[in-house]
Amino acid sequence: MGTAVEATRLASVKYLLPFAFVLNPALVAQSGSGQVFLAVILAVVGVPALALALGTSRPWWERLFLGAGGLLLLLPPGWFTGVGVALLGVVILRHRVRRASTLAA
C-alpha cells in the first residue's frame, strides 16, 4: 500500500501538465522560437520541482517552496517566473549549505 501511495504522489504531476499546456501556449509551440525555448527550459525545471514537492519526505516549507516554484515556472513568463526561480533558489541554497556543513563535520 505504501508503494501505491508513493507512486500516486509522484504521478500526480502528470495530471497538472495539461493545465500548463493550456495556460502556456509556448509549451505546444504556439509562439516564437525564443518563447518556446524558454517555456521548455522552465518546464524542465518546474516538473521535477513539482515531483519533489509531491513525492518526497522533505520539511513542509521545502515542499511548499518546491510546489509553488514549480507551478509558477509552468505559467507563461512574467514576474511570477522570477518568484518561482527565487523559491527554488532558496531550497537549492539551503540544500547546499546543509550538505557543506555535513561534509565539513
**105 band by pLDDT with thresholds 50, 70 and 90:** low
Cα–Cα distance, 57 to 35 (Å, whole number) = 34
Q: Is the pLDDT of residue 27 over 70?
A: yes
Mean pLDDT computed over every residue of the chain: 88
- Read off the pLDDT of residues 47-84 as tens digits, 9 standing for 90 and up: 999 888 887 788 899 999 999 999 999 888 888 899 99
Q: pTM of the entire structure?
A: 0.81
Coil, strand or helix at 47: helix
Q: Is the pLDDT of residue 45 over 90?
A: yes
| DSSP code at position 91 | H
More confident residue, 64 or 103: 64
Using DSSP, how many helices (H) and how many strands (E) does the chain show? 5, 0
